C-alpha cells in the first residue's frame, strides 16, 4: 500500500476518534511530514478528516466515501480477496468478466461509487448514480460451491443481502423472484448473474454476480420510469451506516453462504423471504400475452412453480413476474 493508503487504513480503524500525527508516524514507521502530506491528499479527494490542534486527526463518522481501506476494516472472510474500489466505471460486471478471463483463482470483488452503464436483466440498465448506492461484482469459482444447481447463486446473493439488512438495520426485506430485494414494497436491490465459460469444454469456469443496492435517495431522485417502484434502504438522504460497512457485510455474508450452503439450505432461506407464494401473480414471458397464475413453490433449481387458472402446473425459469395488486 502507498503511504496515503496506510494512513487512511489507520484512520478508518480509529474512525470518529482523534489520533495524533506522532502516533500515526510511529505506528506506520513514517515521518510526521509524510502523515501531514497524506492527510492533505485524502482531504483533497473528499475524505472528511478533521485536524484538531493538540489532538491530531479524525476521520468523521459521517464520512461515506467508498474505499478499499474502509471496506477492509469490516471484512471478516478468510479468503484472500482481491478488492478493488473505483469512483466511476461503466459496469462492475463488465470489469469483473474481463478479469475472470485471465483469472488467477483468487476471489475478486469490484466495487464502484457509480456506474454509467449499470447492467440489469434482459439488457436493461441499472440506475447507479454517485454517492447513494453500492454497486459491486464478485468473481466466484463454481467448483468450490457445495450446492449442485449453479443457478441458485442468484438466490444466495439475494438472501445474503437480505440477511445483512436484517442484521444491521432490523428491517425485514422481502425477495421477489428471481433477483429483486424489496423493502416496504419497493425495489432496493437488483442482482445480475453472468457466467464465464471455457471455450474448449463449454463448461462454466467462473461466475460473476453483480449486486446493486440503493442505500439513500439519489441527489436528483430516481428517473421517472422507475420512480414508482424504486426504493432505498434508508428513507432519509443520510445513511445510518457507512457504505463501506454495508459493502463489507454483503461481501462477508455472500462469500460465506456461497461456499458453505447446500441446495436445500439455499432454497429454504430463499422461500422464507418470499411472500408471493400462495398469491396471484401476473407472468410476462415476452412471447405471449401476460397471464394470471398462483405462485405455489420454488423448486431445488430455484425455478418458480405456478398453477394456472385452469389448474395446470408450470415451472418458470426466468420469466418476468409482477404481483397482482
Q: Which residues are annotated as a binding site for biotin?
A: 91-93, 115, 187
Residue 192 in contact with residue 179, Cβ under 8 Å? Answer: yes
**Measured between alpha carbons, how far is residue 253 from residues 146, 160, 163, 191, 195 in Å?**
16, 6, 8, 15, 21
Strands 180-183, 49-52: pairing is unpaired
State the binding site: 91-93, 115, 187
User: C-alpha cell of 236?
Assistant: 432519509
Tally Cβ neighbours within 10 Å of residue 92: 27
Residue 271 in contact with residue 158, Cβ under 8 Å? Answer: no
| Alpha-helical regions (H) of the chain | 3-13, 21-28, 32-44, 68-72, 92-101, 153-169, 243-260, 263-272
DSSP state of 63: -
Spatial CB neighbours of 286, under 8 Å, sequence gap ≥ 6: 319, 320
What is the chain's percent helix, strand, coil content, to nearest 5? 30, 30, 40
Question: What gap in Å lies between CA 253 and CA 231, rounded to an integer?
Answer: 22
The burial class, CB within 10 Å (0-12 / 13-18 / 19+), for 161 is buried
Amino acid at each position: 500500500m502507498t503511504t496515503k493508503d496506510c494512513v487512511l487504513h489507520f484512520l478508518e480503524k480509529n474512525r470518529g476518534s482523534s489520533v495524533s500525527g506522532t502516533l500515526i508516524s510511529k505506528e506506520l514507521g513514517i515521518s510526521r511530514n509524510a502523515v501531514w502530506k497524506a492527510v492533505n491528499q485524502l482531504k483533497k479527494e473528499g475524505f472528511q478528516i478533521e485536524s484538531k490542534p493538540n489532538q491530531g486527526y479524525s476521520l468523521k463518522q459521517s464520512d461515506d466515501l467508498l474505499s478499499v481501506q474502509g471496506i477492509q476494516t469490516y471484512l471478516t472472510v478468510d479468503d484472500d480477496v482481491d478488492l478493488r474500489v473505483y469512483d466511476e466505471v461503466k459496469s462492475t460486471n463488465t470489469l469483473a468478466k474481463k478479469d475472470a478471463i485471465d483469472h488467477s483463482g483468487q476471489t475478486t470483488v469490484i466495487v464502484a461509487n457509480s456506474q454509467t452503464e449499470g447492467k440489469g436483466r434482459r439488457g436493461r440498465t441499472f440506475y447507479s448514480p454517485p454517492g447513494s448506492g453500492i454497486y459491486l461484482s464478485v468473481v466466484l469459482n463454481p467448483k468450490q460451491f457445495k450446492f449442485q444447481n449453479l443457478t441458485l447463486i442468484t438466490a444466495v446473493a439475494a438472501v445474503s443481502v437480505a440477511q445483512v439488512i436484517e442484521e444491521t438495520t432490523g428491517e425485514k426485506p422481502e425477495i421477489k423472484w428471481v433477483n429483486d430485494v424489496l423493502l416496504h414494497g419497493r425495489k432496493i436491490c437488483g442482482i445480475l448473474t453472468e457466467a464465464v465459460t471455457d471455450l474448449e469444454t463449454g463448461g462454466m469456469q467462473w461466475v460473476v454476480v453483480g449486486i446493486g443496492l440503493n442505500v439513500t435517495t439519489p441527489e436528483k431522485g430516481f428517473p421517472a420510469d422507475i420512480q414508482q417502484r424504486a426504493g432505498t434502504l434508508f428513507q432519509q438522504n443520510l445513511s445510518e451506516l457507512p457504505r463501506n460497512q454495508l459493502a463489507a457485510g454483503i461481501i462477508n455474508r455472500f462469500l460465506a453462504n456461497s461456499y458453505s450452503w447446500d441446495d436445500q439450505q439455499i432454497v429454504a432461506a430463499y422461500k422464507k423471504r418470499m411472500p408471493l407464494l400462495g398469491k396471484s401473480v401476473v407472468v410476462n414471458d415476452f412471447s405471449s400475452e401476460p397471464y394470471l397464475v398462483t405462485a405455489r413453490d420454488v423448486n431445488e433449481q430455484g425455478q418458480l412453480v405456478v398453477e394456472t387458472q385452469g389448474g395446470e402446473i408450470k415451472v418458470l425459469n426466468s420469466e418476468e413476474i409482477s404481483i397482482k395488486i
